[in-house]
């Protein structure tokens, strides 16, 4: 559990691993313009619905940029997600992330693509691919929590609380999570969920 953040330091980026800052110069409608941006990886996210609990499985984790903007937000609520940084299909990356972050084994055929959209359009323009999968206790293989130095908590949000959760501004959450809830609630009948 994330309790406190200490020794926060801000320094200039030189050799970067995941993002690459740059300045873009261009001409638009005859006017010279510049824009500061970053190159970053695309990502996948998956809305996990636990059929026995009638709940979404979410992840909570510390996100330094969010904390830097608002120190009252010591963690964010998110969908299980990961970078597209491997030579694998999007579904294979989703399957790995579900295992690593949440501790469930989901077959590739049970991972359904919902849509894609662009995030951080003013700074990186990375694309996120949204998926959906159903899970149940028989698929649980470990407690989750991420790999290496990730510190991820998993939590269940009952479906009946999802609408309230979307509009609770005291909780830092991603637009992908909120859109995923909207998509689910709009498509419950098609998904065979009461």
Torsional class of 122: left (φ above 0), alpha (ψ -120 to 50), beta (otherwise): alpha
What residues have CB less than 8 Å from 54, skipping those under 6 apart? 158, 159
184: Cβ contacts below 8 Å, ≥ 6 apart: 47, 49, 56, 132, 162, 191
**37 annotated to a ligand binding site:** no
* 64 assigned ligand-binding residue: no
The reply to whether 150 sits in an annotated binding site is yes
97 belongs to an annotated ligand binding site: yes
Question: Annotated binding residues for Mg(2+), as ranges?
Answer: 81, 97, 101, 150
Residues of each annotated binding site: 81, 97, 101, 150
């Amino acid at each position: 559990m994330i309790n406190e953040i200490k020794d926060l330091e801000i320094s200039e980026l030189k050799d970067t691993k995941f993002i690459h800052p740059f300045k873009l110069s261009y001409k638009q409608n005859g006017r010279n313009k510049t824009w500061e941006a970053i190159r970053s990886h695309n990502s996948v996210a998956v809305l996990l619905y636990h059929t026995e609990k009638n709940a979404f499985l979410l992840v909570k984790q510390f996100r330094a940029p969010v904390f830097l903007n608002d120190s009252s937000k010591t963690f964010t609520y998110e969908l299980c997600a990961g970078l597209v940084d491997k030579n694998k299909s999007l579904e294979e990356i989703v399957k790995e992330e579900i295992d690593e972050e949440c501790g469930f084994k989901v077959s590739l055929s049970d991972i359904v693509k919902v849509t894609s959209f662009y995030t951080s359009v003013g700074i990186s323009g990375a694309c996120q691919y949204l998926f959906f999968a159903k899970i149940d206790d028989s698929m649980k293989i470990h407690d989750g929590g991420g790999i290496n130095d990730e510190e991820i908590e998993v939590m269940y949000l009952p479906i009946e609380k999802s609408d309230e959760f979307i509009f609770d501004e005291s909780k830092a959450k991603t637009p992908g999570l909120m859109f995923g809830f909207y998509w689910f609630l709009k498509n419950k009948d098609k998904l065979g969920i009461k």
